[in-house]
């Protein structure tokens, strides 16, 4: 039986999860177990219970305090306090029952040499070694109230296998660790291959974005698939998510001569975490100014060329 590194496990997992993870790691030669992530689906009534509980707490507590301090009879005060207490207890009961009856939608196991994921009720696990990963897609979350952060990922192998990964704020620590591990394992192999392909004259695809000796192609630009030649590109600016989330680039602003700037969102781009490196490399060869580029941050190797 392989050794298990428990130091990186985010929380204690049920014995059957750990045993299953160890067996899969041994069967597929994935190395030491480093992380276990579980995703589950709550019944709708649990979500409603949590929402209603928050509403009752925010609205009911001030009401109880106000009535208790006001010129009301003891019976009125007791009734108001009792009603609010019953509502809160009911909401808590709904949430508790929902948690107990939650169904697991996936189990993701990260090892030193790859990943394994059990998706839904599929009989067989989806397995990949880092050496077989073709595309690693990072999903980012951003809103006006919340700073950009890693929100999920997806893996596609050279054999066509896909692992949907995990998503959401609940898995934020696991996601940071997993993306960092993927970066460490994939960059030494994928980045040189991308750079070599670019230098040979072939376009390098990141999903809806392509980078080539001719320029940058973004399907969102009108007309779809139109090429922005390097001769029209005057600047490239990169903005990053917070360093505590990994310092990865989440948006690239392309300045064009005599034309509006264009924005490239890294969210959802296949191998998008490596796009900044190739753009910086290509821009240097065409004398295009690049700002906001962290050579030592966000998984970007210290030597971009």
**Per-residue pLDDT tens for 268-293?**
999 999 999 999 999 999 999 999 98
Residue 148: pLDDT band with limits 50, 70, 90: confident
User: What are the tens digits of pLDDT across the range 181-218?
Assistant: 999 999 999 999 999 999 999 999 999 899 999 999 98
pLDDT on residue 186:
96
Q: What is the pLDDT of residue 183?
A: 93
First to last CA, the chain: 42
Specify the pLDDT at position 9: 38
Binning pLDDT at 50, 70 and 90, where does residue 6 land? very low
Most confident of 26-35, 146-155, 163-172, 286-295: 26-35
**Stretch among 120-134, 202-216, 227-241, 290-304 having the lowest mean pLDDT:** 290-304
Distance of alpha carbon 22 from alpha carbon 36, whole angstroms? 11
Give the pLDDT confidence score for residue 42 in this predicted structure.
Answer: 54
Angle separating helix axes 44-69 and 74-100, nearest 10 degrees = 160
In the structure encoding, which two tokens stand for residue 71, read together? 């010129």
Instruction: Please report the pLDDT score of residue 222 as a whole number.
Output: 67
Q: What percent of the chain has pLDDT over 70?
A: 83
DSSP-assigned letters across all residues of 82-114: HHHHHHHHHHHHHHHHHHHT-EEEEEEEEESSE
Alpha carbon distance 3, 34 (integer Å): 10
CA separation for the pair 221, 42 (Å, rounded)? 40
pLDDT at 126 over 70: yes
Domain borders along the chain are 44-100, 191-291
Instruction: Check pLDDT > 70 for residue 106.
Output: yes
Q: Quote the CA–CA distance of 100 and 49 in Å, as a whole number.
A: 14
| pLDDT higher than threshold 90 for residue 236 | yes
Region 146-158 average pLDDT:
90
Residue 139 predicted with pLDDT over 80: yes
Helices (H), 101-171: none
Q: Looking at the DSSP assignment, which residues form a beta bridge with residue 290? A: 236
Among 73-82, 153-162, 224-233, name the one with the lowest average pLDDT.
73-82
Pick the CATH number of 191-291 from 1.20.1510.10, 2.30.29.30, 3.90.226.10, 3.40.50.360: 2.30.29.30
Q: Which two tokens stand for residue 125?
A: 């696990």
Percent of the chain with pLDDT over 90: 45
Flag whether pLDDT at 31 surpasses 50: yes
Q: Which residues contact 269 (CB under 8 A, 6 or more apart)?
A: 137, 206, 207, 208, 209, 275
Average pLDDT over residues 136-157: 88
Average pLDDT across the chain, whole number: 82
Distance CA 229, CA 149 (A): 31
Rounded to the nearest 5°, which phi and psi values hold at 222?
-85, 135
Going by their DSSP bridges, the two strands 289-291 and 233-240 should be labelled as parallel
């Amino acid at each position: 039986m392989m050794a298990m590194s428990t130091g990186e496990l985010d929380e204690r997992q049920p014995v059957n999860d750990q045993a299953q993870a160890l067996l899969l790691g041994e069967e597929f030669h994935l190395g030491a177990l480093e992380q276990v992530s579980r995703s589950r689906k709550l019944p709708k009534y649990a979500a409603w219970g949590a929402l209603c509980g928050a509403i009752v707490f925010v609205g009911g507590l001030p009401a109880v305090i106000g009535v208790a301090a006001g010129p009301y009879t003891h019976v009125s005060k007791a009734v108001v306090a009792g009603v609010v207490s019953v509502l809160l207890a009911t909401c808590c009961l709904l949430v508790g029952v929902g948690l107990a009856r939650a169904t697991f939608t996936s189990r993701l196991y990260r090892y030193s040499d790859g990943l394994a994921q059990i998706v839904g009720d599929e009989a067989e696990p989806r397995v990949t070694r880092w050496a077989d990963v073709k595309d690693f897609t990072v999903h980012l979350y951003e809103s006006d109230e919340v700073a950009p952060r890693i929100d999920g990922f997806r893996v596609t192998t050279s054999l066509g296998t896909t692992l949907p990964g995990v998503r959401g704020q609940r898995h934020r620590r696991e996601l940071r660790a997993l993306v960092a591990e993927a970066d460490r394992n994939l960059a030494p192999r994928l980045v040189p291959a991308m750079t070599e392909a670019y230098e040979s004259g072939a376009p390098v695809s990141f999903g809806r974005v392509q980078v080539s000796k001719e320029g940058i192609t973004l399907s969102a630009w009108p007309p779809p698939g139109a090429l922005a030649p390097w001769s029209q590109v005057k600047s490239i600016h990169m903005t990053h998510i917070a360093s505590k989330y990994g310092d990865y680039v989440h948006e690239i602003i392309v300045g064009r001569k005599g034309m509006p700037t264009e924005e490239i969102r890294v969210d959802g781009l296949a191998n998008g975490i490596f796009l900044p490196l190739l753009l910086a490399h290509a821009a240097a060869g065409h004398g295009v100014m690049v700002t906001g580029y962290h050579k030592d941050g966000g998984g970007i190797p210290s030597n971009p060329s």
